[in-house]
């Protein structure tokens, strides 16, 4: 399609396409923007238009797809329209101070429970907890891997029983 043919076809369809754009956007200014974007895209891809097919349908499809793409983009952008400064309160609170007291109490309580179970169970359990693999624990303690797994399992079982017995704070 030549430039003259394209301009001629677009002139014939301008009113129809603009009314379609108004129906899609429901806003005069947005319809003008959509019409301009559609004309640009149609002109840019005019060589893809097959002569003998319906030019009105082709440009209407371009307009509808352009509108859908713009709508999706705007839908995603609505969430980020406010400046970042408005959300800093969620990231940083200068009035709050870090307090590790509760975590320390829980850690002390866990260590006390570990001291209550036999050392043959607590040592492999702690090594496993610190990231050692079964094979490494087995080599370090000079015991079979099966025994390591068994002792870790039993240590968990004993800790669960001890933790279940702790008094509830009132």
pLDDT tens digits, 29-58: 999 999 999 999 999 998 888 888 899 999
CATH number, domain 3-85, options 3.90.1150.10, 1.10.730.10, 1.10.1740.10, 3.40.30.10 = 1.10.1740.10
Residue ranges, the chain, pLDDT below 70: 76-98, 165-170
CATH class of 101-164: mainly alpha
Give the pLDDT confidence score for residue 114 in this predicted structure.
Answer: 84
Give the pLDDT confidence score for residue 83 in this predicted structure.
Answer: 64
| pTM of the shown model | 0.46
First to last CA, the chain: 83
Task: Spell out a b/e string for 20-43, using b for 16 or more CB atoms within 10 Å of the CB, else e.
Answer: bbbebbeeeeebeebbebbbeebe
What DSSP character marks residue 45?
A: T
Give the pLDDT confidence score for residue 15 in this predicted structure.
Answer: 92
């Amino acid at each position: 399609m030549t430039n003259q043919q394209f301009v001629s076809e677009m002139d014939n369809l301008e009113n129809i396409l603009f009314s379609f754009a108004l129906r899609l956007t429901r806003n005069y200014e947005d319809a003008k923007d959509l019409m301009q974007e559609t004309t640009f895209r149609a002109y840019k891809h005019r060589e893809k238009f097959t002569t003998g097919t319906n030019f009105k349908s082709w440009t209407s499809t371009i307009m509808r797809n352009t509108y859908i793409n713009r709508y999706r983009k705007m839908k995603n952008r609505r969430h980020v329209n406010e400046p970042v400064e408005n959300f800093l309160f969620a990231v940083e609170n200068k009035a709050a101070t870090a307090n590790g007291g509760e975590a320390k109490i829980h850690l002390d309580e866990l260590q006390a429970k570990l001291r209550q179970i036999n050392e043959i169970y607590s040592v492999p359990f702690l090594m496993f907890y610190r990231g050692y693999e079964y094979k490494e624990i087995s080599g370090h303690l000079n015991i079979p891997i099966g025994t390591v797994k068994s002792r870790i399992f039993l240590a968990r079982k004993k800790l669960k029983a001890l933790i279940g017995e702790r008094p509830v704070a009132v």
